[in-house]
Amino acid sequence: MRHTKLVIPFLLGVALATGCKAKAEKSAVETKPDETASLQLGKAKAATMEAAQAMEDYAYTRKAEFVVKMNKELVAIQEELDRLAAKVDSAAGATKDEAKTKLEAVRERFAQTKKQLDQAENATESTWGDVKGGFRESYAGLKDSVGITRRWLSDKIAP
């Protein structure tokens, strides 16, 4: 009798959990394209905020470490831009022309961000805060631009 009293609540809990999981999976399947884009944008913003926070933690005494880390980040972005360029090359017509224009704008932003990082590398203790802040803004804008361009290409050019 005692085991029966324990089994019933357990089975109810399992049934309730299974029902909630199925409902969550169903709602995930029914997500509209606009909602998906919003979710992706939210994730990109969160990643940008995390990168900005990581940059905030670097004091002048750790400048060299900061520059090395950000150079690695920029190399990764450069590789992503190269992958996107290959995808653009597979497109045709007006879409290809528009995609090249968008990609060129991101590459220009990349060059500006790289220039900001070079300034950070040459910063003095008195200019470090301003230079680091300028790089942080440029880097966040670059990451956003890459994400927006990646999503646009995914929508316009089939994988």
Say if residue 21 is in the same domain as residue 43: no
Residue with tokens 């090359």: 89
Say if residue 24 is in the same domain as residue 44: no
Say if residue 14 is in the same domain as residue 57: no
HSE-up (13 A, CA, CB side) for residue 14: 6
Say if residue 90 is in the same domain as residue 152: yes
CATH assignment of the domain containing 114? 1.20.120
Domain that holds residue 4: 1-30
Confidence of residue 95 (pLDDT cuts 50, 70, 90): confident
HSE-up (13 A, CA, CB side) for residue 11: 6
pTM over 0.85: no
User: Would you state the structure tokens that stand for residue 61, as one six-digit string?
Assistant: 């005494």
Say if residue 65 is in the same domain as residue 134: yes
State the DSSP H helix or E strand holding residue 105, giving kind and residue range, or none if neither: helix 93-121
Cα separation, 121 vs 132, in Å, equals 10
Say if residue 72 is in the same domain as residue 26: no
Say if residue 56 is in the same domain as residue 132: yes
Q: Are the C-beta atoms of residues 106 and 151 closer than 8 Å to each other?
A: no
Say if residue 148 is in the same domain as residue 130: yes
Domain count, the chain: 2
Instruction: Give the residue from 144, 108, 120 showing the smallest Cα distance to 71.
Output: 120
Q: How high is the pLDDT of residue 12?
A: 46
Query: How do residues 4-35 score in pLDDT, each as one tens digit?
Result: 444 455 544 545 455 544 444 444 445 455 56
Weakest mean pLDDT among 11-25, 99-113, 117-131: 11-25
Instruction: Give the residue from 144, 10, 156, 127 showing the smallest Cα distance to 77.
Output: 144
Task: Give the Å distances, CA to CA, from 11 to 1, 15, 21.
Answer: 16, 6, 15
Say if residue 23 is in the same domain as residue 49: no
Say if residue 144 is in the same domain as residue 111: yes
Query: How do residues 127-149 score in pLDDT, each as one tens digit?
Result: 999 999 999 999 999 999 999 99
Say if residue 106 is in the same domain as residue 68: yes
Say if residue 118 is in the same domain as residue 53: yes
